[in-house]
Amino acid sequence: MSELNHKIEQLIKVINEETLSNEAFFLSLGKPNMKAIVILIKRTTHLKRDILKHCQRFKKQAGVYPKWIKIDLITETKQVLYDDIINELINTRRNYIDFGIALDTHWNMSFLPDEINANAFVRPSKNKSELILSEVNINNYLKKYTKHKKTFQHKQYHGKYITQFYTKGFIHDNYQVYKLNDRGSFKNLRIVDDLNTEINHLIQHGSDFLEGMLQGNGKYHYGYFPHFDKQIDFYNNLRHSSSTYALLESMQYLNKEWLSAKNAIFYIINNYLYEVDDKGYIYDDTKQINEIKLGQNAAFIFAVCEYLKLNPNDTHALTAAQKVAQGILAMIDSDTGETIHVLNYPDLSIKEKHRIVYYDGEAALALLRLYQINQDQTLLNAVKKLFNHFIANNYWQYHDHWLGYCTNELVNIIPDEKYYRFGIKNVNHYLDYIKHRDTTYPTFLEMLMATYYLIKNAKNNGYGHIVTELIDEQAFIETIHFRANYQRTGFFYPEIAMYFKNPQRILNSFFIKHHGYRVRIDDIEHYLSGYIQYQNAFSNKGSS
């Protein structure tokens, strides 16, 4: 009880530092294995007493005191027609609602934005063509997680005024109190004093979470849709390999033991390496798809290359990568640099000449990474041929982070002006879009960081004039720091996770909000890789 009292006192102390006048607040109480309980308290006269009383009630129901205590002070209210609110709800990007609603004058049926988003009150229609307000999901929440006796029906409120409200949040996460952002896309993002220290925590948590998704046989739990705690019923060997690359990258950054990631590498080698003569291909048989993707082969190679940094004497893995590289070469036209994207397995007939442009950048990066290990000139020649094709066909317009990585590494080997120009053009006209994009889109930070190193390289090699000509460096650096901070809105801090069905499943993972808060291995991959590159450049741990 003394510990609980101390937590409540710490929380109230921070709240009292804010000059917020209000007469009501929402109290959210939670712990890892249950959805948060949300209580509206209409008077703040006895703040500590009321919080303590509800924490004691929570213990009677849950067996323990809440681990997380969150308070949302109501900062603004306005009366709005119900139909106008519905239009705003369904015309806001999915899960980006930053306001709450009270459907009656006494606020007996009222919902925080956290409840609206986490319980999928707004969801895609059956044909996915639009967003709708779901009576089913709202009533499911009311019935299972609240004490409301009435059901919700649209027709009750048409033509009536309801209350739209905004809040300012505070949470004690069992360690300390955080103030939370109150509006827009930053809503409920905790405010931190030291971004680099915080990002290191996120890398540690994200790496641990991704490693925890690995099963004993080296296959991952692919991912989750957290609204209703559903496992994603699919698999993708390309994402398996690229996620393993990021896991290995994080293990190296954190000086972690890497044996579990070795299992992930050999899961692919032992189960999905198809060898024909001297060539190797990684195939995918998920739901009898039976195909070989160029990007899949590439992701396997750069995962192996990252693994070889930690275990350079594994000739078995290196040999497998070299065979798959020969398979990639067979999918590249040696004269034009054009690629074949998808083959049928096992007969190697062409299934799709082109599927997605990013396969080309992945292939170039894979061959270049392997070249840096085995110095096979054939691989470098193929990369040069690919880049001739990329430059001639203005591939910079696709803003591909894989090409960003590859260009940055290619200039270390061949510091040619055309490569610097290509790499900078990959982002220079895209900065404003990147900075103001409300989705976290974590590959943005990866692309920005690859370009950051490219620009640094250009200056060191006498190409500073290209940088001055092509990009506003100050705006570029500001965009990097902005995105690094903004990406935290895609991390399952307790104050976000606590409102979902099973918080412990997703706590300390990364998610894609507009895809139903999806947590998938490759989503975590991109957050980790971008953050690691950022830290290597801008934190005390990095090289600055």
User: What is residue 127's predicted lDDT score, i.e. its pLDDT?
Assistant: 85
User: What is residue 23's predicted lDDT score, i.e. its pLDDT?
Assistant: 72
The DSSP call for residue 121 is S
Contacts by residues 1-10 (CB-CB < 8 Å, ≥ 24 positions apart): 4/52, 4/55, 4/65, 5/52, 7/69, 7/172, 7/174, 8/48, 8/51, 8/52, 8/55, 8/69, 8/172, 9/48, 10/172, 10/176, 10/177
Q: For residue 204, how many C-alpha atoms fall within 13 Å in the half-sphere facing its CB?
A: 8
What is the tens place of the pLDDT at every residue in 97-108? 999 999 999 999
How far apart CA 10 and CA 12 sit, in angstroms, is: 6
pLDDT higher than threshold 70 for residue 20: no
User: What is residue 281's predicted lDDT score, i.e. its pLDDT?
Assistant: 98
User: What is residue 530's predicted lDDT score, i.e. its pLDDT?
Assistant: 98
**Contact (CB, 8 A) for 102 and 112:** no
What's the token pair of residue 31? Answer: 């712990």
As a whole number, the mean pLDDT across the chain is 95
Task: Label residue 159 left, alpha or beta by phi (over 0 means left) and psi (-120 to 50 means alpha).
Answer: left
**Which residues 6+ apart lie within 8 Å of 425 measured at CB?**
396, 470
What is the tens place of the pLDDT at every residue in 167-219? 999 999 999 999 999 999 999 999 999 999 999 999 999 999 999 999 999 99
> What letter represents residue 528's amino acid?
L
pLDDT higher than threshold 60 for residue 47: yes
| pLDDT-derived band at 46, boundaries 50, 70, 90 | confident
User: What is residue 42's predicted lDDT score, i.e. its pLDDT?
Assistant: 87
What is the tens place of the pLDDT at every residue in 428-475? 999 999 999 999 999 999 999 999 999 999 999 999 999 999 999 999
What's the token pair of residue 35? Answer: 């959805």
Q: For residue 514, how many C-alpha atoms fall within 13 Å in the half-sphere facing its CB?
A: 13
Q: How many residues does the chain have?
A: 544
- Domains of the chain by start residue, with CATH: 2-186 (no CATH), 195-538 (1.50.10.10)
| pLDDT-derived band at 543, boundaries 50, 70, 90 | very low
pTM for this prediction: 0.96
User: What is residue 16's predicted lDDT score, i.e. its pLDDT?
Assistant: 87
**Which residues 6+ apart lie within 8 Å of 99 measured at CB?**
113, 164, 165, 166
pLDDT higher than threshold 70 for residue 11: yes
Arithmetic mean of pLDDT, 308-318? 97
What's the token pair of residue 120? Answer: 């999928």
**Residue 455 three-state SS:** helix
Which run of H or E residues covers position 35?
strand 34-41
The DSSP call for residue 350 is E
Q: Which position has the token pair 């390289």?
A: 457
Helix/strand/coil percentages in the chain, nearest 5: 55, 15, 30
User: What is residue 278's predicted lDDT score, i.e. its pLDDT?
Assistant: 94
What is the tens place of the pLDDT at every residue in 497-525? 999 999 999 999 999 999 999 999 999 99
How far apart CA 124 and CA 350 sit, in angstroms, is: 35
User: What is residue 149's predicted lDDT score, i.e. its pLDDT?
Assistant: 83
**Which residues 6+ apart lie within 8 Å of 417 measured at CB?**
463, 466
User: What is residue 381's predicted lDDT score, i.e. its pLDDT?
Assistant: 97
What is the tens place of the pLDDT at every residue in 125-167? 988 889 999 999 999 999 999 988 889 998 999 999 999 999 9
For 232-248, give the DSSP string. Answer: -----HHHHHHHHHHHH
> Rg for the chain (alpha carbons), in Å?
26
How far apart CA 307 and CA 456 sit, in angstroms, is: 27
What is the tens place of the pLDDT at every residue in 255-273? 999 999 999 999 999 999 9
